[in-house]
Homo-oligomer: A and B are copies of this chain.
Amino acid sequence: MATETLTAERILAATEDVLRLYGPAKATVVDVARALGVSHGSVYRHFRTKAALREAVTKRWLDRTTAELSRIVADGSRSAEDRLALWNVALFTAKRKKAGADPQLFATYEVLLRENSGVVDEHITELVGQLVRIVQDGVDAGDFTPVEGDVEATARAVFDATIRFHDPVYAAEWSKPGIEAEMDALLALLVNGLKRRP
């Protein structure tokens, strides 16, 4: 049979399937190899360790969210104020959806968190970077005043302030009734804090 050649991409797809099926605690490299019909030695030809494989899958999964959010960042038709709120709501919605619809991959993400994986750091850096762009736009438009004149620190502060709505640690609270209202109150407070005083 003309079995396709083994590529990193095929391995990632198979690993995602295996993780979805067994979860990060039970999924093994042997399972992934079995799903692909190869020996596990072949998988190690493409990924040096199991951790690297796990990280590559999670990175892909996280990048899907970042790509979605970048559209809000780039939306020139809206004010920075609107985009800031939209972006935060979209991030919250995306994370909550991931936690609910993809619990096993979400659990994998939590494993990386505990491992202090660079993938998570990069994800956070990327998200804060997006916030920096929105805040900078607001400053340029004369709508926002950054804290201590430091746009980077201000974006970081906004990200930290909303941590309850994007850190997986709090995933259990995301389905609590009233959580949206709590987020709205917090966002209103933050936007107010950013606004330039006339």
Which residues from chain A sit less than 8 Å from chain B, CB to CB?
Answer: 147-148, 150, 153-154, 156-158, 160-164, 169, 181-182, 185-186, 188-194, 197
Contact with A182, one of B160, B164, B181, B182 (Cβ below 8 angstroms): B160
- Copies of this chain per assembly: 2
Given contacts A160-B164, A164-B160, contact A148 B193 (CB under 8 A): no
CB closest residue in chain B, given A169: B169
Q: Is the interface of A mostly helix, strand, loop or mixed?
A: helix
Report chain B residues within 8 Å CB of A191: 193
Q: Are B169 and A190 in contact (CB under 8 A)?
A: no
Q: Which 5 A-B pairs have the closest CB atoms?
A: A193-B193, A161-B161, A192-B193, A189-B193, A157-B186
- With most chain B CB atoms within 10 A of its CB, the pick from A150, A156, A161, A190 is A161
Q: A119 → chain B, closest Cβ, in Å?
A: 18
Can you name 19 A-B pairs with beta carbons within 8 Å? A147-B185, A147-B188, A147-B189, A147-B192, A148-B185, A150-B185, A153-B185, A156-B182, A156-B185, A158-B189, A160-B182, A161-B161, A161-B186, A161-B189, A188-B193, A189-B190, A189-B194, A191-B193, A192-B192
